[in-house]
Structure 1
Amino acid sequence: MTKLRVVVLGLSLSSSWGNGHATTFRALLRAFAARGHDILFLEREVPWYAAHRDLKHPDYCRLEFYSVLGDLERYRDAISNADAVIVGSYVPEGVDVGCYVQRLANGIVAFYDIDTPVTLAKLERGDYEYLSPGLVPDYDVYFSFTGGPTLDVIMGRYGSPAARALYCSVDPESYPILDQEKRWDLSYLGTYSPDRQPTLERLLIEPARRAPHLRFAVAGPQYPDGTPWPDNVERIDHVPPDEHPAFYAQSRYTLNVTRADMIRAGFSPSVRLFEAAACGTPIISDIWEGIETLLEPGREILLASRPEQVVDVLATWPEDQRRALGARARRRILAEHTAAHRAASMERDLLEAILLRRQEQPFALAVES
């Protein structure tokens, strides 16, 4: 097996507060390291993550912090000598970071977009917060959280030489089935987002109003002060990743809510989808193209667009039917969507890009001479 030296510049590995990047990177990089690869993760030191740090010393990679863009010079040799350097979405000053990496790296460079529909929407309106159109063709691989037709857009419109789906996943060891007393009939775990809130209102808040005898929970930071919550909706500000399994285990059902840009793009599963399924907790989800390629509607996941559909499930489904739905979803996720599956996919795509680069270099040298 080829041992790769990989440098990752991502939004956060150390803190899961207010972002889904950390849990995604943790599962993926742990599995990637288990395949024998060496990883250095470089994280921009920012106060809001420093104040909510829940991973300080990962045992599967080196975690280092840099304070400003110029501070990356301390890692010049590591970036220059890496077999692959991966820059993530939403990295502060991401365009400048990308330019720096593309200029310095002797190995391949890749972009890992954990927010693909949001990224493409930003590019279309000229918002180059962390990626610009000019950078895309010079990333050897564009790893995308979104699959389907979006990959053709990344290559056809923006000139990526290789756009590859790299969905989020789950580490089964970190998300086991737990036997706990049910505390809520329906829960939701997610940071506040204005474009998710209408769906949350429709599929959880309104059902809570219509079924005051049932219990609900909304967990996650950044919800506006003064948000009116029904009395039977419990608010939890933050659930650390190591407490996610217990949260799901205490939920008869959990809700999956997708951001508007991701619904429009389709093929954009949330990490919470995989986590909840791995824990055996039945999922009620909003509807978007491609979800049927991950979990079979009606058999492994329930889809809803109206509050009465949610109330009907919560009020009428027998316990054995509920358990069977969760068990089938868990089997599907463990068979196809673990971190080990994603790590193998990323390894294959990186090695393919490295091989292509080596095949092209002799020709480039001949032209230069």
Structure 2
Amino acid sequence: MKIAFFGSSLVSAYWNGAATYYRGIIRALHNLGHEITFYEPDAYGRQENRDIPDPDWARVVVYPGEGETGVRQALAEARGVDLVVKASGVGVFDELLEAAVLELQGPRTRVAFWDVDAPATLDRVQHDPADPFRACIPRYDVIFTYGGGDPVVDAYTALGARLCVPIYNALDPETHHPVPADPRFAVDLAFLGNRLPDREARMESFFLVAAAALPELRFLLGGSGWGDKSMPANVQYVGHVYTRDHNALNCSALAVLNISRDSMARYGFSPATRVFEAAGAGACIITDAWEGIEQFLAPGREILVAENGAEVARILRDLDEPRARAIGEAARQRVLEAHTYAHRAAQVEAVLAGRDASARRATG
């Protein structure tokens, strides 16, 4: 297939948490023989903060982030391909693209909406019946989501979606894998995450509370936007951590912390990209509790689960290096066997070919 993909950015993870997901899915689809062009806007300083060059597994087209001429030209170029994908959260021209890609639909062109933040999208349209995207939902051939399970599928189906299928985050073993430890990241607990309104309170509860309770241990915080945040003295803030350093960080900390955003935790079945990239590096992961964890990793054996910061502190007090290594290795084996982007790309192919028995079509 020839696929035209409209998303936030493939070449930059700067203020772009979906980058790892896009890269994994698109590289895996390319490996299956598909030809992908990724259209992204020049916006939010992402082009100035690229962390990969244009890849050989996708063609990248960057259009201006201001004025409609560039995005209209990109849409015109995409006409006639086999599949057009509009991802959520492009950041500019979202409303325009949500409607305009549907104009490309035809006998040989299917159009998909790929929701990389379904809880946010659903909350928005459910609370605003006049939201323009609401009327677009029934017109898409398929809605893919990167998480949410039955709650998200049920919600999209109720809004008229023809077909809604979660394509979960996963591991790209070529990108995330074990590497030698790096002294820069040699801490007891590391957390990576940009500062967002529906993450901050949970970060305070799970990370800063644990750090304050364990002044003898070392904590590391990475991600954009936390510079003016008050933190315990044993927390080292390192700012944005580029993708090239994620393996080193995951292999150097005794444990790494996953904290879901409020909306993701509420819907459940929404493992973050960080979970799989950390597991792929053999990291011992401590995660906040959310419904559906066991579908991806076994609590207590492949991942450690905490209800709050006090439990994170208790886990760290009892965690030694041999146990952390054993948990990390078990997680790595599990994701390699069942949760790589090769698995996800095969599922996408099966859905588009009508061969995925798990896909739920709306019934009249």
Instruction: Normalising by structure 2, report the TM-score.
Output: 0.91
Structure 2 stretches lacking a partner, 5+ long = 356-364
1:8 offset after TM fit, Å? 0.1
Task: Tell whether the 8 Å contact from 2:173 to 2:280 is kept in structure 1 after alignment.
Answer: yes
**Structure 1 residues 301 and 214: alpha-carbon distance in aligned structure 2, compared to 1, 3 A threshold:** same
Amino acid at match of 1:300: E
* Structure 2 partner of 1:101: 101
Determine if the alignment matches structure 1 residue 71 to structure 2 residue 70.
yes
Amino acid at match of 1:186: L
* Structure 1 partner of 2:271: 269
The one of 288, 297, 302 equivalent to 2:290 is 288
- Distance in 2 (CA, whole Å) between partners of 1:128 and 1:295 is 40
Alignment of 1:233-244 (within 5 A): 233-244=235-246
In structure 1, the residue corresponding to 2:286 is in which secondary structure? strand
- Distance in 1 (CA, whole Å) between partners of 2:311 and 2:43 is 42
Amino acid at match of 1:52: N
Amino acid at match of 2:188: D
* Structure 2 partner of 1:251: 253
Amino acid at match of 1:286: D
1:47 offset after TM fit, Å? 4.3
* Structure 2 partner of 1:144: 145
Q: CA RMSD in A?
A: 1.8
* Structure 2 partner of 1:89: 88
1:202 offset after TM fit, Å? 2.0
In structure 1, the residue corresponding to 2:256 is in which secondary structure? strand
In structure 2, the residue corresponding to 1:205 is in which secondary structure? helix
Size of the aligned set, in residue pairs, is 347
Task: Tell whether the 8 Å contact from 2:40 to 2:62 is kept in structure 1 after alignment.
Answer: yes
Task: Tell whether the 8 Å contact from 2:12 to 2:19 is kept in structure 1 after alignment.
Answer: yes
- Distance in 2 (CA, whole Å) between partners of 1:278 and 1:80 is 37
- 1:248-307 superposed Cα distances (whole Å, 9 cap, x missing partner): 111110000001111111111100011111111011111111112111111111111233
Determine if the alignment matches structure 1 residue 186 to structure 2 residue 183.
no
* Structure 2 partner of 1:364: none
Amino acid at match of 1:340: A
Amino acid at match of 2:28: A
1:221 offset after TM fit, Å? 0.3
Structure 1 stretches lacking a partner, 5+ long = 354-369
Task: Tell whether the 8 Å contact from 2:176 to 2:247 is kept in structure 1 after alignment.
Answer: yes
Determine if the alignment matches structure 1 residue 135 to structure 2 residue 140.
no
- Distance in 1 (CA, whole Å) between partners of 2:86 and 2:150 is 22
* Structure 1 partner of 2:312: 310
- Distance in 2 (CA, whole Å) between partners of 1:249 and 1:128 is 48
* Structure 1 partner of 2:215: 212
Alignment of 1:5-84 (within 5 A): 5-67=2-64, 68-76=67-75, 78-84=77-83
- Distance in 2 (CA, whole Å) between partners of 1:127 and 1:179 is 52
Task: Tell whether the 8 Å contact from 1:285 to 1:303 is kept in structure 2 after alignment.
Answer: yes
- Distance in 2 (CA, whole Å) between partners of 1:243 and 1:254 is 14
Q: Which moved more, 1:310-319 or 1:236-245?
A: 310-319
- 1:155-186 superposed Cα distances (whole Å, 9 cap, x missing partner): 1x211111001111121111111231561100
* Structure 1 partner of 2:361: none
- Distance in 2 (CA, whole Å) between partners of 1:8 and 1:128 is 26
- Distance in 1 (CA, whole Å) between partners of 2:246 and 2:232 is 23
- Distance in 2 (CA, whole Å) between partners of 1:185 and 1:128 is 48
Instruction: Normalising by structure 1, report the TM-score.
Output: 0.90
Task: Tell whether the 8 Å contact from 1:7 to 1:78 is kept in structure 2 after alignment.
Answer: no
* Structure 1 partner of 2:362: none
Q: In percent, how many aligned pairs have the same letter?
A: 35
- Distance in 1 (CA, whole Å) between partners of 2:94 and 2:129 is 12
* Structure 1 partner of 2:120: 118
Determine if the alignment matches structure 1 residue 203 to structure 2 residue 202.
no
* Structure 1 partner of 2:360: none
**Structure 1 residues 185 and 33: alpha-carbon distance in aligned structure 2, compared to 1, 3 A threshold:** same
Task: Tell whether the 8 Å contact from 1:40 to 1:64 is kept in structure 2 after alignment.
Answer: yes
Q: Which moved more, 1:76-85 or 1:246-255?
A: 76-85
